[in-house]
Each structure stands twice: as C-alpha cells, then as structure tokens.
A and B are shown apart, each in its own frame.
Chain A
Amino acid sequence: MNLVKPGRCRLTEIDFADRSFPFSFGEIPPKLQASIKHVGILQPPLLLESEAGYIIVCGRQRLEAFRRSSPPTQELDILAAAGACRKELFLRALWENLAQREFNPVEIADIHAAAGELFSREELLSEIQPALKIPKKERFYRRYQALAGFSKDLRKLVAAGVIDPESVDLLREWHEPEYQALIELIRETGLRRNKLREVIGRLDDLARRDGVSPCLPLAAAVTAAKDDEGRIVIAELRHQLKVKLYPHLTAAQSDFAEKLAKLSLPPALILDPPPDFEGGEYRLSFSFSDSRKFQLCCRALNEVAPEDIDELISRT
C-alpha cells in the first residue's frame, strides 16, 4: 500500500459509474450530506488512478454527497493509489467498510461477485467469505454468486428481508416467468420469510417431482386458495400446497380428525397422533381445574369403546 499518496483531483476526474469496489449502498444519510455541505470532506477518499479517471475504492458516499453540494470543477483532497494491486485495495476497502456496518445479503452478494473478478475461487472461499461471515462452503459461494445476478425486483425483496437467503438456494434454478409469478404472489399476499420459504420449498419440490415449472402448482394453489372476494387466503394456499406435496399424510390427518370427532371427547381431552404418524405412540392429555372436571374426563374416557380406539389408530 506504499503506492498510496495524498493528492488532489477535480470531481469531473472521478468515474462514479465504476463499481469495481462496490462497498456503498443505499441513500446518503442526511446528516452526512449536511456535514459535507458545511465543512466539506474531512477524511479524504481513497481513489485508484486509471486511464479513464479515478475509480472510487473507499468513500463513495462522502463523494456523492460532495458532488451534490459542489460544482463539477470543484477540487478535493484525495488519497490516490497509482498502480497499486487491486486485490490489496479491495481487501482494504472491504475491511474498512466491514468495520462500519453490517451488509444485507444483496450487498454481500455484490461484494462477493466483485471479488470474483479479482480473486480466485479458492481465495474467495478461504479469504473473502470468512470476512463476510459466510461459511467457507461451495454452497454459499453459489448462493451469493447467484443472488448478485438476480433481477432488480427480486434483489429488493432479498435486501428487505422478505425472501431469506436460504430460499435463494432454491430460486437460483428458477426462471424469469417463475420469479414474476412469485413476486406477484408476494405483492398480493404479503407473504414473507419463513412462510414464504415454506411456499417456495413446496413449489420447488412439486416442480421437481412432477417435472413442471413452479408456476403450474402455484397457479393451481392460488386458484383454490381465493376467497369469495378473489383474495388469496395464505393459510389455504399453504394447505393446498401441502395436500399436493403430501397427499398421503394429509389424507391420514383428515381421516384421523374425522374418526376422532366421532369419539365426541370433551374439549378438555386432547388426543394427538404421533408427529406425522411416525412411530406408534399416541398421546392423550387432559386439563382440569376441579374434581368435577376431572371426573368428567375420566367418565368420557371410560365411555370410549376399545374398537373405536382400534379403528382410530389402525394403520392401513
């Protein structure tokens, strides 16, 4: 880094369009804008000299704020790196920005993708990913490289936390019409995070299982999940997808509920099947607040015929 030296340049000499060092995102904080308007840039930005002009390494927001409040010919103090190793500059900018704030997944993906232009895959896995707090696994490499290439609308949803990074692993194999259908669903229902991940996971499984586009099971579920006013009911949508993906399990659940209802147990008595009917242990529990309610529960249990229980728990 000994090639970095203090200098001065004009705003017009800075190539604001170049985002080789993509460490600044979002709006300029009003306080920063106000400060720079009144006292200028106190900490000089780090710029890389290139044939087309200076490329911003560190200090994009300060420069953007300065540009808004100054004429284009305005000069400013800078730290200029001439012929310095881009990799070193990238690491310097990365660590400086990491010290200042947390990045959202899309920002991480953009940094990851930009690093991919400079660093080998091995360096990305072993140096950049740990710095970004990403596990050193290929799976995460693929996740963030894919996310960087997502459409603007989809990136917005990931950046806002509506779509979680784990869902990106599934979405990266989807195609544009499928993204659009998903974005439309999110817009209409407000689905987000965990429930959205479940929906995406089920759509992905159904599409794989049946060898079709996720749009198909989505369209079918949406049609079936609309209420009288044409609004999509989220619980019904999730149920529809569950029935499609787990036909045997949902049939068993309905069958159990039907047989249980026939037993006419008092509400204080709860009879649960094994989770997902795995194993053979059924669970009976009841609640009471006095001896009379206790007796009621006991009497109700005594009235259940053994053959009804046999039928309830029969495995066919």
Chain B
Amino acid sequence: MNSSPELDWQRSVFYPATVLVEEAAADYPLTRSILSRLKNTQVVTVKRPAGDDFSSLSRLYSPRTTLFLALHRGRFLKACPGTAESYRCCLYQILHLGLGCNIGCSYCVLQGYLNNPFITQFVNLDDAFAELDEELAKPGVFYRIGTGEFTDSLFMDPLTNLAPRLIDYFGGCKNAILELKTKSVAISSLLDYPGEIGETVVSWSLNAPAVTAREEGLAASIEERLQAAARCRERGFRIGLHFDPLLYFPGWEEGYRQTVAEIFKYLKGSDIIWISIGAFRFMPQVKEVLRENHCQSNITAGEFIRGLDGKQRYFSAIRRRLYRFLVDEIKSYAPEVFIYFCMEDQYLWQDTFGYAPADNIELGHWLDKCCYRYAGS
C-alpha cells in the first residue's frame, strides 16, 4: 500500500458565508452546534419558505455560499427513486438529512430537480432517529441505507459532526448497514471515532482523473479520495466505490485504467465491499440546466438516446464498451470484488457479466449478502 503525505482530514469543502435559519429550527441542538463552529458568518432567521420564497431568497443570498438550517417535515427514510422497471435497481434506502452540496459537479442531476437552491441541513435529528427506530423494528427486513444521494455525506461533516452520531446509531442495528458516500476527504470524525465501527460503509465516488479535474468542481482528487479510503479502511470501515457517472470522452480508456490502477495502490480487493457502475444519464429537461450552469462542459453533447425510462442515456453499444472495459480492468486486479450496475438493463448485465439479476429484489439480495459476508469477516 502507498504511503503519502498526510492530508488534512478536517478539510471541509464548505464554510458558508451566510446561514439561513428557519425560525422553527433555531433552538435545535444541531443548529446551535453548527453556528457555534462558524465564525464571521452572517446568520439570518427566516420564516419557513414556501412557493416562490426560495427564488426570492436566492436573489438575496448566493446558494453556493449559503447554508440553510431547516426542519424536515416529511419522511426521512425513503426508497431510492431508482428508475423504471426496465432497468435494475438495488432497492436502496435514503436517509434524507440534507440537500445539495457546493462541490459543483457539472453532471449533478440534482440541479434540475430541487426547488430549494440552498445547501440544506435538516436539524431535527431526533425525529429522524425516531422514524428509523420505528422502521428498523420491522422483522425480517434488511436495510442498506445511505445519506449521500441528495447531498454529499461528509462534505461538511466538520461543521455538523453528524457522521459519528450516525455510526453510533447504526452500530446498534442488526438489520441495517449505513453507507456514507462522498467526494471529499473530511474524514477526521471517522478516524477519531472512539467506539466500535459496526456496519458502516464509507464510499467514494470515483471517475477518470480528467473528468475529476474538468467536471467535479471542488471535489478532492482521485488520489486524495483513495488515501482517505485507505485511512478509513485502516480504522475498520468497509469501503465502497462508485463509478457513477461513467463518461464517454476521448481518452476514456486510459483515464479509467489510471483510476482503477490507483484504487489498488491504496486498497486490496478484500477491503472493498462493492463497486457500482453507472453510465451518465439524465432527464431530458435537465440538459438545459446543466448547460446553463456549466457552459464550458460538453458532457451532454454525446451520443444520447432516450432510454426506456425517458432518461437520456448513452447508446447501448457505448455503455457496453464502457462497462466491459471497466469491469475487466477491476477484475484484473481483484477478481473477487462484487461489481454491480446502477440502473442498467438485464441485457447489459448479461453481456458484461454473463448473468443478470432476475429482478430488483434479487439484485437487492446480492448486495445484502455482501453486507452479511462483511459482517461475518
């Protein structure tokens, strides 16, 4: 394994210039704790925004530098939206504790989905844990739960210190595994975690170095992410990796080859609980938004066709080439590692792996088994 100069694991990607605090959220412990960590930050109390209020507020406060502390009034635990039945999804659950991040990836589809433009942290954690208590009490169900779908799980952990609380909670769960998904290296709270790690997976989203440099804004470099992964593995965390979105660009083979080689400089195959792969896809209406927000990026100008779920996807022959190449590369280092596709059809599964999950339930079971295997290790 590589030894490199120590990174600043406390390095937060995000220090807001302004914090908007929803009136009803002002007295929550997480609000107080976040505000106590911020110096020279403008704090503004606002009524619960409704309708056009967000667009009015965004004209007063820049969404890129503003943190919104709010109460979440809906369900915290939600099924991953996945996609239509034509594509296999893994029945993942999302613990919805925040929205958005400031990393600024050009391909982020959240740009086209969220009405709330602000990086948002929900502060009513007790409500979230109460809901989890109730949900996880259901017998005979295993849950894979992540916090990194609508936000980055760790990008402002030095401000929220949320990761240790989640690890505490899930450490006591027999039927659930927590996945923290990130592109940052803000892992100090994980490294300093005093107790047993339990069943927590820390995952990094990876891409080709050229994509990272061009399309992933403030994200840590691939090498930094993998250094952080290695440190987390040393500390006892399971490591997940996600190649999503794969992009097709001149030089993609060399780019992804480099990243795979880099992975195995820092990790062994047995350190990795799973690797997911998904080629770039987006709803047609998001194209305009992505172009507007990232006018230098050309990622939406590829050979996209309309998928069976209505999303724009690379033509299947391109996806097949991307998948086969990446899977072969990974397997050449670690034949035993479990690789799966995110939102892909059974034909591409079959063409790449020689097998395909019969349905979403089977894919979900395969991933659950990875968790059992690890729990037993």
Contacts and interface: CB of A to CB of B under 8 A. Distances in A.
Do they bind each other? yes
Interface of A: 121-122, 125-126, 136, 139, 142, 169, 173, 204-206, 208-209, 211, 245-249, 252, 275-280, 315-316
A277 B306 CA distance: 10
Contacts of A204: 301
Contact of B317 (A211, A252, A279): A252
18 contacts: A122-B56, A136-B52, A139-B288, A169-B288, A204-B301, A245-B303, A248-B317, A248-B318, A249-B305, A275-B305, A277-B305, A277-B315, A277-B316, A278-B308, A278-B316, A279-B308, A279-B345, A280-B345
B351 A315 contact: yes
* Nearest 8 CB-CB pairings of A with B: A276-B305, A208-B301, A209-B301, A205-B301, A208-B298, A280-B347, A248-B317, A249-B315
Interface in B282-323: 288-289, 292, 295, 298, 300-303, 305-308, 313, 315-318, 320
A126 B55 CA distance: 10
Interface string B246-282: 0000000000000000000000000000000000000
Contacts of A249: 303, 305, 315, 317
B59 interface: yes
A173 B292 CA distance: 11
B345 A126 contact: no
Interface of B: 52, 55-56, 59, 86, 288-289, 292, 295, 298, 300-303, 305-308, 313, 315-318, 320, 345-347, 351
Contacts of B302: 209
A252 B317 CA distance: 9
Give chain A's interface secondary structure class.
helix
A211 B298 contact: yes
B345 A276 contact: no
Contact of B55 (A125, A209, A277): A125
A122 B303 CA distance: 37
Given A276-B306, A278-B306, 8 more contacts: A121-B59, A248-B303, A248-B318, A249-B315, A249-B317, A278-B308, A279-B308, A315-B347
Contact of B313 (A246, A278, A280, A316): A278
B1 to A, nearest CB: 39
A277 to B, nearest CB: 6
Nearest to B307: A278
Contacts of A315: 316-317, 320, 347, 351
Nearest to B345: A279
Contacts of B295: 173
Contacts, number: 68
B301 A206 contact: yes
A209 B302 CA distance: 7
Contacts of B86: 279
A122 B59 CA distance: 8
Contact of A209 (B298, B308, B318): B298
A278 B305 contact: yes
A278 B307 CA distance: 6
A142 B292 CA distance: 10
A122 B57 CA distance: 11
A94 B159 CA distance: 50
Contacts of A246: 303, 305, 315
Q: Which of B56, B59, B303, B345 has the most CB of A within 10 A?
A: B303
Contacts of A142: 292
A245 B304 CA distance: 9
A247 B303 contact: yes
B146 to A, nearest CB: 28
A52 B308 CA distance: 63
Contacts of A248: 303, 315, 317-318
A311 to B, nearest CB: 16
Contacts of A126: 52
Contacts of A275: 305-306
A278 B320 CA distance: 12
Contacts of B292: 139, 142
Contacts of B318: 248
Contacts of A122: 56, 59
B152 to A, nearest CB: 25
Contacts of B315: 246, 248-249, 252, 276-277
B366 to A, nearest CB: 21
Contacts of B289: 139
Nearest to B313: A278
A279 B288 contact: no
A191 B18 CA distance: 51
Contacts of B298: 208-209, 211
Q: Which of A139, A276, A277 has the most CB of B within 10 A?
A: A276
